[in-house]
């Protein structure tokens, strides 16, 4: 479904750049400005700086004189407002409305004939008013719905680009969303043989420092075995534990330096 973001009478150049950035993060690139305060707003330094790399969105953006021009080709219009109007389209949260809208589109796609054709040619437009006054009533009345972002009743005012980011995110999620990209590769888990080898090494180290009495080991090592099983150790962690055991074996101990904690109290 074609998606367009329309900013009406925007007064701050930085908000245009921030809006472009918000759009690009969610994979949208159709931006139209209706009679902005600055005719050259797409080329202003503040706009480009706030876009933070989304210059391709700015390059493809259009500036038009009227809302009619901005709405060309759009079939479903979504106004945005902090408070509902006494008259006009229904007010809904973005997620609630997007679910309803996509269910309607799915029905049209599965219906032969004119409804399927409508679905193929559909386009949704999100309209945002000026920073100071919001959307005019006459513009809201043209829309199918008025989207309101749930927020603090005592302080619900959102920056223009912030509001656009929330709606762009909810719309992208409704369309299927993006997968989270893993920051690091998944670690390789240690196998049973590696865990057993580490435990044997650790047992030698515990004996060397006097913590484990080989004549009366009781259940210390089985308990450690269960602990490490629950930890799901990686191969790197096995190397760390073996390094600790190695240093324990190298450290000379006497009766005075041996650990005073007896394993008997832990292993009964």
pLDDT digits (tens, 9 = 90+) for 150-186: 999 888 888 999 999 999 999 999 999 998 877 778 8
Give the mean pLDDT of 23-44. Answer: 95
The predicted structure's pLDDT at residue 133: 86
CB distance 159 to 82 below 8 Å: no
Domains of the chain by start residue, with CATH: 2-175 (3.40.1280.10), 192-267 (1.10.8)
CB distance 180 to 107 below 8 Å: no
The CB-based long-range contact list for 249-253 (8 Å cut-off, 24+ gap) reads 249/204, 249/205, 249/208, 251/208, 251/209, 253/208, 253/209, 253/210
Give the mean pLDDT of 77-89. Answer: 81
Q: How far is CA 221 from CA 104, 120, 168, in A?
A: 62, 66, 55
Burial class of residue 21 (count of CB atoms within 10 Å of its CB; 0-12, 13-18, 19+): buried
Query: The dihedral of CA 250, 243, 221, 266: what is its sign?
Result: positive
CA distance 3 to 126: 8
User: Where do the H-state alpha helices sit in the chain?
Assistant: 13-25, 45-51, 55-60, 67-70, 94-110, 114-120, 137-140, 160-175, 192-208, 220-231, 235-250, 264-267
Query: What is the rounded average pLDDT for all residues in the chain?
Result: 88
Give the mean pLDDT of 84-110. Answer: 82
CA distance 14 to 239: 52
Confidence of residue 114 (pLDDT cuts 50, 70, 90): low
Q: CB-based contacts of 127: which residues, under 8 Å, 6+ apart?
A: 6, 8, 67, 77, 78, 79, 80, 135, 139, 143
Give the mean pLDDT of 23-32. Answer: 97
pLDDT greater at residue 242 or residue 104:
242
CA distance 148 to 229: 50
Total residue length of the chain:
268
Q: Is the pLDDT of residue 115 over 80?
A: no
Q: What is the pLDDT of residues 130-155, one digit of tens each?
A: 998 889 999 999 999 999 999 998 88
Give the mean pLDDT of 82-86. Answer: 68
Q: What is the DSSP letter of 43?
A: G
Neighbours of 2 (CB within 10 A): 13
CA distance 245 to 211: 12
Q: What is the pLDDT of residues 189-212, one digit of tens each?
A: 999 999 999 999 999 999 999 999
Query: Considering the entire predicted model, what is its pTM?
Result: 0.72
CA distance 146 to 153: 17
């Amino acid at each position: 479904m074609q998606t367009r973001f329309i900013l009406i009478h925007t007064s701050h150049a930085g908000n245009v750049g921030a809006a472009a950035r918000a759009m690009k993060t969610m994979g949208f690139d159709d931006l139209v400005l209706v009679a902005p305060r600055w005719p050259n707003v797409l080329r202003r330094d503040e706009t480009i700086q706030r876009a933070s790399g989304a210059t391709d969105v700015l390059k493809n953006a259009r500036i038009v004189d009227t809302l009619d021009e901005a709405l060309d080709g759009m079939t479903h219009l979504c106004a945005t407002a902090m408070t509902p109007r006494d008259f006009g389209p229904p007010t809904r949260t973005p997620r609630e409305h997007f679910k309803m809208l996509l269910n309607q589109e799915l029905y049209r796609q599965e219906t032969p004939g004119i409804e399927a054709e409508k679905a193929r040619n559909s386009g949704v437009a999100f309209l945002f008013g000026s920073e100071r006054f919001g959307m005019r009533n006459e513009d809201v009345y043209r829309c199918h719905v008025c989207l309101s972002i749930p927020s603090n009743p005592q302080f619900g005012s959102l920056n223009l680009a912030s509001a656009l980011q929330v709606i762009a995110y909810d719309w992208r999620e409704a369309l299927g969303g993006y997968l989270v990209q893993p920051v690091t590769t998944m670690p390789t888990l240690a196998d049973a043989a590696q865990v057993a080898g580490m435990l044997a090494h650790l047992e030698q180290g515990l004996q060397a420092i006097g913590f484990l009495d080989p004549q009366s080991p009781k259940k210390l090592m089985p308990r450690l075995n269960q602990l490490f099983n629950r930890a799901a150790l990686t191969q790197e962690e096995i190397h760390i534990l073996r390094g600790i055991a190695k240093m324990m074996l190298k450290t000379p101990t006497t009766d005075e330096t041996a650990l005073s904690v007896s394993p008997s109290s832990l292993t009964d």
